[in-house]
Chain A
Amino acid sequence: MAEPKTTGSPTPDEPLLRATDLRVHLDTPRGLLKAVDGVSFSIERGETLGLVGESGSGKSMLVRSLMGICPSIADIHGSVRLDGRELVGVPRKEARTIWGNRIAMVFQDPMTSLNPVLRIDRQLTESMRLHLGMGKKEAGERAIELLTLVGIPEPVKRARQYPHQLSGGMRQRVTIAMALACDPDVLIADEATTALDVTVQRQILDLLQEIQAERGMGMILVSHDLGVVAGRTDQIAVMYAGRMVEHSPTADLFAHRRHRYTEALLGAVPRLDVPRDQRPRAIPGAPPDLVTLKSGCAFAARCTAADDLCREERPELGDELGAHRFACHHPVGEDVAAVEGVESGQPSLMKEATA
């Protein structure tokens, strides 16, 4: 399994995966949609990045653009480097040698992300046969190993079955096995547990963490739930309207959250250990329309601390990777002079946001 990778040797001063000013623009019939707008981060081997945000915040598009699997109307700018090797703009044919081989992805819904008319073993082996040049028999044996690894009982029998014969949790284990097939350097789990029920969710997350630790992969855990990524990541990035609004080492983020949106997200996490009156609060309003987005902070319309500055000037995140970065004019923990004035103006803003 520990075969040497065919693509370049790691450059010492380069992180495993580094994205710099990544932008994904979609040319939709309604206009230009900036799905991902100027995102930077880096991951080392064995490190996990948690990517958090509401649906529509651009997190899925971001991880897809890392691989280059985007709809054909998407334009990807900026840079993504895997071991120092640029991935943005490489021809499709070359990109395919990386997909599933060096970067692999686990998708959200195991019910729909497996091909319903192909047997499990077929779907498991095809990437090994393609990327590692394995024969049918060898790949088949490895498929059984993988199924055992992800904790599927009776792997030999399961391998011959169709996806619909497996439960949701089992299917997600299969998709993880599929992602692990070629021993990738980076594993991206795009809401990999969202569609599962809570107990299974935990098992799958534990499994991912275990495998990652064992193999020293870089991992990106995408979730809309801060609780999911809390104890399992080294750094967390919060996405809002296509931009990162807060990015910091995990412990730091939970200790000193700075962005108002992060604060609101944390408020929305269900917890049992707090009194009833502090139970989850929904964030008022809806995410903004990314086509008609104007200048200013994208969260301003839903933010309790927003003032004229927020509506006019977009706060910047800062460039220093590894530090606690946040893009907010009035971060949590700092006195906000204008709070009172904003409070009264809020209802109309909310209306605007929901309209």
Chain B
Amino acid sequence: MSTLETAPEPALGAAEPTGLRPSQIKRAKSGKARKRPSILLWFAIAWMSIVLLGALLSLIAPGVFPHEYGKAFGDAKQKPFAAWPEFLGTDGLGRSHLTRLAFGARVSMIVALVSVVVGVVIGGLLGLVAAYFRGVTEMIIDLFSDALLAFPPLILLLALSSVYEPSQTSITAGLAVLTIPGFTRLTKASAIAQSNREYVTVAKAMGAGPGRIIFKELLPNTFPAVMSYSVIVMAVLIVAEGSLSFLGLSIPPPMPSWGGMINAAKDDLSLYPSQVFVPCGVLFLTVFSLNVIGDRLRAKFDVRDTKL
């Protein structure tokens, strides 16, 4: 959850060293050297494609997997890379890790994507409204986002799960609620920055109403910031859903989820570490890839001075 706050990079690479201020030259140098190899980015994109493919297949064509996710087909706790096509081994009940991980990807992806979309729509709308009207409207919207942010994120989810039976819908709804204040603040900040610019003043002077200004002028210009932030939020949401599954408070069995698979195998850690570390690795790679992609998008759109 902690990735919600990210350190802004200093303004690197902005200096054109025609003058001789040594500080500028140094800055220019570190800006050059900080370019990360893009192999990492390609790896991230490739991995996310695999995950999305797995999620998609399990959603529309579960038949392509050699075994069903709910049925045992062989020895329990098979090690990975021991057999083909079940190269990821089997779980404690002899079920296919490969299939279960693909279905877990489906859960993670659906939950994360839907929550982010809901968060972007609601949070973004609130942020734009707050930025356009300011005054009391802004105060009220800020108050609600402050109140939501007053709960440590996981605590809020846990409180909700104490009253609702966990299901894909309730988890998604809870996570969506969590993401709203972040998107509200982000869109508000970047929309306020935009609305002080010339073109918005011009639009206002030409008699454009609030709806037109919000949707035609402010919205498109907050898009890059929101998009790159969304990718990072997806990573956070996948971790959050995993945390809940790990505690057994997410989607109930037999539907597999990554966190749930980790939870089910946790007692086998010292004897069958692969039981735990295979789903852990998949989860880690997904979160890592999303962070890499999000970082790159953020660097590309240059959204570093937006305070969240």
Check A-B contact in the complex, CB < 8 A. yes
Interface residues of A (CB under 8 A from B): 26, 28-30, 33, 35, 55-58, 60-61, 64, 70-74, 289-291
Interfacial chain A residues near B31, Cβ < 8 Å? 29
A residues less than 8 Å from B17 (CB atoms)? 26, 28, 30, 33, 291
Chain B interface helix/strand/loop/mixed: helix
Give the complex CA separation of A28 and B18 in angstroms.
Answer: 10
Are the CB atoms of B20 and A56 closer together than 8 Å?
Answer: yes
Chain B residue with the shortest CB-CB distance to A291:
B18
Asked if B19 is at the interface (CB within 8 A of a chain A CB), the reply is yes
CA distance A57 to B18 in the complex (A): 10
Q: A55-B20, A56-B20 are in contact. List 11 more A-B contacts (CB 8 A).
A: A26-B25, A28-B25, A56-B19, A60-B22, A61-B20, A72-B26, A72-B29, A73-B29, A74-B25, A290-B20, A291-B18
Within the complex, the shortest CB–CB distance from B54 to chain A, in Å, comes to: 42
Can you give 17 contacting A-B residue pairs, CB < 8 Å?
A: A28-B29, A29-B31, A30-B16, A33-B17, A55-B19, A56-B18, A56-B20, A60-B21, A60-B22, A61-B22, A64-B22, A71-B26, A71-B29, A72-B26, A73-B29, A74-B25, A290-B20
Interchain CB contact under 8 A, B18 and A73: no
State the 9 A-B residue pairs at the shortest beta-carbon distance, nearest first.
Answer: A56-B19, A71-B22, A71-B26, A29-B32, A28-B17, A61-B20, A71-B25, A289-B18, A35-B20
Is B173 an interface position by the 8 A CB rule?
Answer: no
Contacts of A290 in B (CB 8 A): 18, 20
B18 to chain A, nearest CB (A): 5
Q: Which residue of A lies closest to B22 (CB)?
A: A71
Q: Beta-carbon contacts of B1-28 to A below 8 Å, as 1s and 0s? A: 0000000000000001111111101101
Is A28's CB under 8 angstroms from B20's CB?
Answer: no
Task: Give CA–CA (A291, B18) in the complex, Å.
Answer: 7
Name the distance in Å between A10's Cβ and chain B's nearest Cβ. Answer: 31
B26 touches A58 (CB 8 A): no
Whether the Cβ atoms of A58 and B25 lie closer than 8 Å is no
* Residue positions of B touching A, CB distance < 8 A: 16-23, 25-26, 28-29, 31-32
**Interfacial chain B residues near A291, Cβ < 8 Å:** 17-18
Is the CB–CB distance between A29 and B28 below 8 Å? yes
Nearest residue (CB) in B for A57 is: B20
Contacts of B28 in A (CB 8 A): 28-29
How far is B25's CA from A30's CA once the two chains are assembled, in angstroms?
11
**Nearest residue, chain A, Cβ from B17:** A28
By a CB distance below 8 angstroms, the chain B residues around A74 are 22, 25
Q: Which of B16, B19, B20, B22 has the most CB of A within 10 A?
A: B20
Residues of A within 8 A of B21 (CB): 60
| B20-A73 in contact (CB<8A) | no
A352 CB to closest chain B CB, in angstroms?
15
B32 contacts which chain A residues (CB < 8 A)? Answer: 29
How close is B72's CB to chain A, nearest CB, in angstroms?
60
Partner of A70, one of B16, B18, B22, B29: B22
Query: How many angstroms from the CA of A72 to the CA of B25 in the assembled complex?
Result: 9
Q: Give B13's nearest chain A residue, CB to CB.
A: A29
Question: Cα distance A33–B18 when bound, in Å?
Answer: 8
> Which residue from chain A places its CB closest to the CB of B21 in the assembled complex?
A60
In the complex, which residue of chain A has the Cβ closest to the Cβ of B25? A71
Bound complex: CA A350 to CA B88 (Å): 72
**Which B residues touch A72, using CB under 8 A?**
26, 29
Q: Least Cβ distance of B22 to chain A in Å?
A: 4
**A24 closest partner in B (C-beta):** B20
Q: How far is the CB of B236 from chain A (nearest CB, A)?
A: 34
Chain B residue at minimum C-beta to C-beta distance from A29: B32
Residues of chain A lying within 8 A (CB to CB) of residue B20: 35, 55-58, 60-61, 290
A206 to B19, CA, bound (A): 30
B274: min CB distance to chain A, Å: 47
Q: Which B-chain residue is minimally distant from A36 (CB atoms)? A: B20
**CB-CB nearest in chain B for A288:** B18
Report the Cα distance A291→B19, complex, angstroms. 10
Query: Bound state CA distance, A60 and B22, in angstroms?
Result: 9
Contact between A29 and B29 (Cβ–Cβ < 8 Å)?
yes
CA gap between A66 and B21 in the complex, in Å: 16
Using CB atoms, name the residue of chain B closest to A56: B19
Q: How far is the CA of A291 from the CA of B16 in the complex (A)?
A: 11
Instruction: For B16, list chain A residues within 8 Å (CB).
Output: 30
* Alpha-carbon distance A29/B25, docked complex (angstroms): 9
In the complex, A30→B17 CA distance in Å? 8
- Chain B residue numbers with a CB within 8 Å of A58 are 20
**How far, in angstroms, from A213 to B23 measured CA to CA in the complex?**
33
| Nearest CB of chain A from residue B25's CB, rounded to whole Å | 5
Q: How far is the CA of A260 from the CA of B29 in the complex (A)?
A: 35
A30 to B16, CA, bound (A): 9
Query: In the bound complex, how far is the Cα of B26 from the Cα of A352, in angstroms?
Result: 28
Chain A residues, CB < 8 A from B25 = 26, 28, 33, 71, 73-74
Collect the chain B residues with CB atoms within 8 Å of residue A73's CB: 25-26, 29
Q: Which residues of B contact A57 (CB under 8 A)?
A: 20
